[in-house]
Amino acid sequence: MHGEFGGCVLKLVQGDIVRQPVDAIVNAANSRLAGGGGVDGAIQDAAGPALMEETDARYPEGCPTGSAVITAAGELQCRHVIHAVGPVWRGGVRGEPDLLRSAYRKSLELAIKANCASVAFPAISTGAYGYPTDLAAEHSLGAVSDFLLKEGRPAEVRFVLFDAGAYGAFARVLEGMLA
């Protein structure tokens, strides 16, 4: 499923983010940029040790929640990995929606600075961080579509959703945005 915003394509796919033919993959990182499980573990495993070595060297202080940093992609087929730190869900009363939107915006800003025409995002914060998938779909798709309408780039943004449930939640929100 896909839609167009500001002349850019916003696409939903179900699959493995490390296999996407894009210029940059966004990693759902923790604030220490220390590696972890889920999407982060899969990206770290596929990229090889060079990714963590560069991340440690360039960002020894980590990255605050709601922000992002960029590195080369190690052994991945893309050129860059953007490490975005989403919020831990605490009921939605501690600024989680704004922090999640910010992580997406900062990632897109970095992608543009790195001349990336295509970017693949996971559903940031929906795994171990407990962000409800339906709310994450609203907040993340809203932030990305607003960015694309304003900036007119990157040309393609993919949300790569691991399972049918996440895909369904994101598809419902995108359908509503296109109606």
pLDDT tens digits, 76-117: 999 999 999 999 999 999 999 999 999 999 999 999 999 999
Confidence band of 20 (pLDDT split at 50, 70, 90): very high
Question: What percent of the chain stands above pLDDT 90?
Answer: 95
| Mean pLDDT confidence for 63-71 | 98
Question: What percent of the chain stands above pLDDT 70?
Answer: 100
Q: Tell me, yes or no, if 40 is annotated catalytic.
A: yes
Does 120 have pLDDT greater than 90? yes
Helix runs in 20-64, H state only: 38-47, 49-58
| Mean pLDDT confidence for 161-170 | 96
Backbone angles phi and psi of 66, in degrees to 5:
90, 5
1: which residues sit within 8 A by CB, 6+ positions away? Answer: 11, 12, 171, 174, 175
Does 35 have pLDDT greater than 90? no
| Mean pLDDT confidence for 16-44 | 93
Does 125 have pLDDT greater than 90? yes
Does 36 have pLDDT greater than 90? no
Q: Which two tokens stand for residue 39?
A: 């999407």
Which residue out of 40, 56, 134, 146 is catalytically annotated?
A: 40
Measure the CA–CA gap between 133 and 163, rounded to whole angstroms: 11
Q: Helix %, strand %, coil % for the chain, to 5?
A: 40, 20, 35
Does 34 have pLDDT greater than 90? no
What mean pLDDT value characterizes the chain? Answer: 96
pLDDT of residue 132: 97
pLDDT of residue 37: 82
pLDDT of residue 42: 92
pLDDT of residue 119: 98
pLDDT in tens, 68-81: 999 999 999 999 99
